[in-house]
Structures are given as C-alpha cells and as structure tokens.
Structure 1
Amino acid sequence: MVFGVQEITPDMANSMKLISKKCFLRAIQVIDRFNVQKLALEAMQEIRIKHRWEAMDLENQLIMTAKRENRANIPELLPNGDSVKQLLARSSYVLYKSREKWSERQNERAQMLFGSYPDIKKAYGLSQQLRGIYNNNNDKHVAMTKLAHWHRNVEESGFKNYNTLLNTVTLNYQSILNYFDNRSTNTSAKMKFMNSKTKK
C-alpha cells in the first residue's frame, strides 16, 4: 500500500478501480476525460455505421435489380462526387474533429451528411458539447452543472445506444468530476505525492 499518492487516474474498469483503492488508500480517483469522450464518440459512430450498413443494403438491392432487368446500375452521386455509401464511410474522421478544425472539403461533406441524417448531426452536437465541458471549464461546480445539462440532453435525444454511456457516467460521476480539480489525465502519467522527497 502507498500512502503518499494524492491522485490517480485509472480507467473505468472495476478491477482497476478496486486495485487503485486498495493500493492507494488516500488517493482521489480521477476518471480520465479521454475515456469518457471515447465512449461518446463511439456511440456517435455507431449511428453513422448503422446508416452505412443500410446504404450498402440499398445499393446491393439496386445492383441486383439492375442485373435482373439486364441494365447497368448507375449510382446516384452527391454534389461532391460521393455516393451515399461513400459519404457515410468518408465522414468517419470528420466526426472525430471539432468544427473549427475541418477543412473546406470536410465542412462540405459534414453539411451534406447532417442534411441527410439529422440524428448524426444531433449525436455530433452531443459529443461536441461534452468536449466543450472538458475544454472550457476549470471550476468543478460549473462543470457539474453543465455535465448535468449534457446528461439531460442525451436522455432527451432518445438514442438507445447511448444508454451504456449514461450508465457509465452515472456510476463514475464523482470520479469524472474530480478531473476538474487538477485536470489530470493518463496521457500525462501524472501522480502527485504529498511528500516530494518520496522516491521509488
């Protein structure tokens, strides 16, 4: 057991949290922001992937119909030259980025995607709202209020595939909020010691 560690940032696995609690008795557990954001991004991408499978099924049906009728199947192209299937496939990277980091071509693709799939637009907005909470808040109490608003927005979205995300946030709520005390992450591999002279 180690008593000098003030803060530790394990992932959200129960085994890691249990080990951390037993080994670092006085340490405050902090859920890394990137673990939470990753879940939100994955939930958003699930919606895009679902639409992509639907587009692939439709395209296959059109190809088979064209073959039966002994004619060529000419896919409908969007103004940027993408087919619907291509639009959904090529938008994956765009959805990981914030709007201000989009290139002109990526912005064009995103607008076509959002125009055709309002649910993807809504899911993207939720992921960006969460990112904004982490990026723009240093006050734990302000972050708590904004996180509660985000939680309500997710509930009202009606996205069933977000249930795992909401349950995870609920179960780890205090540890998630602890991030805003010192903004510690696993990526910095930062552990604070009460005794600065403590050495391995």
Structure 2
Amino acid sequence: MKTIARVCFPKATQVTDRFHVQKLALEALQDIRIKHRWEAIDRENNSIKLAKQKKILFIPETLDNGDTRKQLLARSRYLLYKAPSNWTQNQDFRSKILFQQYPDIKKAFDLVQNLRNIFNQAKSIKIAYTRLAQWYHQVEISGFKAFNTVANTIYNNYRSILNYFNNRSTNAAAESFNAKIKAFRAQFRGVKNVEFFLFRLTNIFA
C-alpha cells in the first residue's frame, strides 16, 4: 500500500493513522489480561477438581466487589479500552481491585495511556519525537513481550507516524466513506457490474 501511494501520489505525505497505532497497544494490553484470565480459569478448575476429590463444596474466592478472579478479569475488558476519566463508578471500583491484584496490568495500562497522551497533547513533531523515544524506552524497561511488537512497529514507521503531527490528520474520512460503500453494496447483495457500480457511486457520493 505504501508503494502504491508513493507511485500514484508522489508529492503526498504519508501518515500512519494514530488509531491503528493505539489499537496495537490496546491489543498488547488485552493479551496480558487474557493470559491472567486463562491462569485464573485453570486455577479455579483445579480447585473444583480437588474439592470433588475431597467431597467438599467448592466456594470460589470473591473480591471486594463480589467478583471472582475469573469474573474480574473478564469484566475488566472494556474499562481497559477507556481513559480513567470515562469510567463509570463501577468500572472505577473494579479497576482499583484489578490493578491491586495484577500490578503488571496497571503498568501496561499506563503505557497505553501514555501513548494516547502523546497523540492528544504533543503540539509538534519535535515534541512528539522526544516523547515517543521516551515511551519506547519505557516499553524496553517494562519487559512486556506483548508490547515489543508495538514498539518495533513505531520504530520502523516513526516517520509516517510523526507526520500525523503536521496537520493532525487521520483516515477517519476515508474509513467513513469506505463504510458507506460497503453499506451501499450490501443493499444489493453484491456487485455484478463493477463499472456501473462505480458509476453509481460517483453520481451519489462524488
């Protein structure tokens, strides 16, 4: 795609969309949460099996908000996508328990928020470059393998990522138009005549 854009639009400045970069970081955070959830499920299954062998009733450990560890990790999925200022009261309470029980999730969440703040607060390429370098160093110190992919992606594409700070451009308009095309195509359950379909798109959306 980069080669196509460079050949077709040689004078254009290529920008890596900020939301794709943030999505990678969020996926790395969710990987850490999911890993802990599988461990909690295995631990609970082993406890149930042991209780059956001893012929006693298994009562799972519950935390201050009434969640078991398995439930806590499952129900924390959506709050990790949000900034703390957007949490509900229940999510705020659950996050405090989550971060207390799993400090590595708190550390990973802070990395995600720091990256988001760079895109929200940096006013120039120079400032963004410095803060991205500091964030990259934080990832190296953290030791999270899940974040290495994010850090390497930023390292390999830092020029196009930094181009965002020229005009704070995103591909939101292109994504919106793509959604309109897909919805238009879905109305007719596919396209047989591509040329006529493009002609209709031109007349409706151009």
| TM-score of the superposed pair, with normalisation by structure 2 | 0.83
User: What are the equivalent positions in structure 2 for 1:20-59 lying under 5 Å apart?
Assistant: 20-59=5-44
Partners in 2 of 1:56 and 1:35 — Cα distance? 31
Mind listing any 5+ residue stretches in structure 2 that lack a counterpart?
Answer: 176-205
AA paired with 2:7?
K
- Give the structure 1 partner of residue 191 of structure 2: none
Tell me which stretches of 4 or more aligned residues in structure 1 moved more than 3 Å: none
Partner amino acid, structure 2, of 1:65: L
Aligned partner letter, 1:74:
I
Once the 2 structures are TM-superposed, how far is the Cα of residue 162 of structure 1 from its aligned partner?
Answer: 1.4
Query: What does 1:75-154 correspond to in 2, within 5 Å?
Result: 75-154=60-139
Give 1:25 deviation, angstroms: 1.1
1:57-111 Cα deviation digits (max 9, x unpaired): 0000001111111111110111101000000000010100001111111011000
CA distance in 1, matches of 2:146, 2:85: 27
Measured in 2, the distance between the counterparts of 1:22 and 1:42 equals 32
CA–CA separation in structure 2 for the residues paired with 1:20 and 1:73: 60
What one-letter code is carried by the residue in structure 1 that aligns with 2:151? L
Distance in 1 (alpha carbons) for counterparts of 2:124 and 2:10: 26
How well do the aligned residues superpose, as a CA RMSD in angstroms?
1.2
Counterpart of 1:151 in structure 2: which amino acid?
Answer: Y
Q: How many residues were matched structurally? A: 176
TM-superposed deviation, 1:24:
1.1
Instruction: Name the CA distance, whole Å, in 2 between partners of 1:64 and 1:18.
Output: 57
C-alpha distance in 2 between matches for 1:145 and 1:24: 29
- What is the Cα deviation at residue 164 of structure 1? 1.1
Identity of counterpart residues, as a percentage?
Answer: 57
Partner of 2:184: none
1:167 and 1:110 map into 2 onto residues whose CA distance is: 29
**Structure 1: unaligned runs, 5 residues or longer:** 1-15, 191-199
Say yes or no: does 1:174 pair with 2:159: yes
